[in-house]
Amino acid sequence: MVKIGYLSFDASVKIHYSGKYTSTKTNKSGNMGIAGYIRHIDRATDKMNGCEVQHSNPDINSDLTLENESYYKDSNGEWQRTSHSKDMVNAINRRIEYAKEHGARISTKGKNDAVIVRPLVLQMDNDSITGHENTWMWDLIGILEEQFGKENITGFSTHKDETNPQNPHIHVCFVPCHEKDKDGEVKCSISQTKFFKNPKQLAGLHNKFRKALLDKGYDIELENKPIEEQLAGYYDKNGEWHQQGLTPDQLKELTDRELNLRMEMVKMKYKQSELDMLEKALSDMMKSTKAKQEEMEKEHEKELETLHLQQTALDNEKVRSQAAVLLREMNAKKREMETEEMFENICATAEICFRILKEKNELNPDFLEYLGKEGEKRGKPFRRFVEIWHKNFLDEYSEKISEDDSDLQMELKHCVNKLLKQKNEETRSFPDTSDIKRTGCEFLF
């Protein structure tokens, strides 16, 4: 019978910049800092250098410690076997200094005490490693580098000196340095929350690691072992089962409870499926409604634009009509003024003409007065003689003179009446004869 292997992943320990460390799993805390953590995981290097330290873990078998292996990344990013415990410390510090040089701000105060190392622990049982004895740790490191960034995995140690049934396991140094490119320049920040956003996302990493190992040919469970199996016991190297404190009744109780929980989960999955279908239907309906609304808004905009163009055309036509009326009024006013001016000129000319005609039939009073004065001076009746001669002249030519004067007066009257009629038709109704007399043309009538 082939047993399916098991993998667990733990990221519960946090090492802060101040040196403080905390564990969300055990609620323990202390001030061992980076150096203290490396002293714990790289104990094989210390022992090799004659600096063995007593550890509090009772499962450690010091006779097997030298079988542990530790590696760090050098300044060129290449993996090297540790020769001193400070090798792993220096690798961590190089990554932190790189982050600082590229803008990372790290605080040591209170709640802002930054987590600069988030140790990772991955455990695999012997069944998982079978057939991959020489590559398993590098396969795990490759998966971690892909998940958290190649440069952020700075060192690791494999432990084979513990009697824990889930031996062997690997401790990994992870510096949560987040890099991004901003305007062609690399900007860094030290932030664990960029990688571990919430418990759900952290739990999801388990499945990612297991799937990656399955793709590499490992016989490993995709899901975690049931909690009751882990608590109930384990198989040792010889395949013997060891009870860890739970009785068969307790195990059965846990199993029944898990069965009920799994049944509820199945029901929830069906309900979730229905909710997903409903959500999708609502989403499609909202998209359709939004599309129709956008279409209606576009049609409304077109209608508004058409109305605006029509209103503009009407306004332009109104302006043109008003301008035409104003122009006609101006032209009429101009013609009226020109007619008035012409009429006044004609009246003045006619007045002169009639004055000339009148003077033609009469002697000039000034001339007669002059003749009277000259006659008195010389003792001769010059004025009387001239008046007699003028009378005789008028008598002799009276018919001809009257006919000519009458024709000329009639012609002048006809011209003036014609102009008066034209003026009346084009501009306004002209006044009657009494009104015309008041204009100074009374001599025409």
Nearest of 369, 370, 364 to residue 390 by alpha carbon: 364
> Is it the case that residue 190 has pLDDT exceeding 70?
yes
Is the pLDDT higher at 235 or at 259? 259
Nearest of 116, 113, 106 to residue 35 by alpha carbon: 116
443: pLDDT confidence band, cut at 50, 70 and 90? very low
pLDDT given at position 241: 45
Rounded Cα distance between 164 and 6, Å, is 14
Share of the chain above pLDDT 70, in %: 71
Nearest of 172, 24, 178, 188 to residue 99 by alpha carbon: 188
B/e letters for 422-443, b = 16+ CB within 10 Å, e = fewer, are: ebeeebeebeeeeebeeeebee
Structure tokens at 20: 């403080």
CA distances from 61 to 81, 168, 205, 397 (A): 22, 13, 31, 173
Average pLDDT over residues 187-201: 87
pLDDT given at position 261: 76
> Is it the case that residue 123 has pLDDT exceeding 70?
yes
pLDDT given at position 422: 64
pLDDT given at position 50: 84
CB 81 within 8 A of CB 70: yes
314-361 pLDDT, tens digit each: 888 888 888 888 888 888 888 878 777 777 776 777 666 666 656 555
35-64 pLDDT, tens digit each: 888 988 898 898 888 887 676 677 788 888
384-442 pLDDT, tens digit each: 877 887 777 777 765 555 555 556 566 666 666 666 666 566 555 434 434 433 344 43
Q: What angle do CA 86, 91, 95 make, to 5 degrees?
A: 145
> Is it the case that residue 18 has pLDDT exceeding 80?
yes
Instruction: Give all strands (DSSP E) within 289-393, no chain letters.
Output: none
pLDDT given at position 398: 58
> Is it the case that residue 162 has pLDDT exceeding 90?
no
139-151 pLDDT, tens digit each: 999 999 999 999 9
105-119 pLDDT, tens digit each: 998 888 889 999 999
Nearest of 334, 355, 329, 335 to residue 408 by alpha carbon: 355
Residue that is written with structure tokens 């209103």 in the block:
311
pLDDT given at position 438: 39
pLDDT given at position 400: 56
Say which range, 80-94, 109-123, 256-270, 307-321, has the weakest mean pLDDT: 256-270
pLDDT given at position 433: 39
pLDDT given at position 432: 43
172: pLDDT confidence band, cut at 50, 70 and 90? very high
Average pLDDT over residues 245-266: 60
pLDDT given at position 179: 94
Is the pLDDT higher at 71 or at 9? 71
Say whether the peptide bond before residue 58 is cis (omega within 30 degrees of 0).
Answer: no
pLDDT given at position 372: 82
- Contact partners, residue 412, CB within 8 Å, separation at least 6: 350, 353, 354, 444
